[in-house]
Amino acid sequence: MIIERLKSGVITVGPGRGFIVEGAGERLVITAAHCLPSLPPAGPSFRLVARTFGPLLALRGEEHSAWAVCRFVDPIADIAVLGSSDNSHADDYIAPMGTAADPPHKRPSRAVELTP
């Protein structure tokens, strides 16, 4: 049973996998940096569009449909943290985040929206 709960938090990120964590009222994705299509520019002054990738995220076994913003990346340690953006793709990000972490018996057949 615990394995199934853990598996439900795993999603597809580009060519690899990532897992969902919740903190500060937001669901984030922890993944390997090499799963990103490219590294975002260094420095905090770059606009959101330079750090937004997509479609990048999906529930396991489905087509990539969700966009995400790279909040943190360390290419040496090969780790990245992805979050939602405040743009037109935010709803796409919310769909897999809302259902992937739900227990399988409560998960709808297709991800549609986040229900807290």
Q: Note if the bond before 41 is cis, omega within 30 degrees.
A: no
Among 106, 31, 109, 112, CA closest to 73: 31
**Model-wide pTM > 0.95:** no
Report the 10 Å Cβ neighbour count for 34. Answer: 13
Q: What is the pLDDT along the chain (116 residues), one digit of tens a residue?
A: 677 777 778 898 999 999 988 877 788 999 999 999 999 888 766 678 888 888 889 888 888 888 899 999 999 999 999 988 665 555 555 556 555 555 444 444 344 333 33
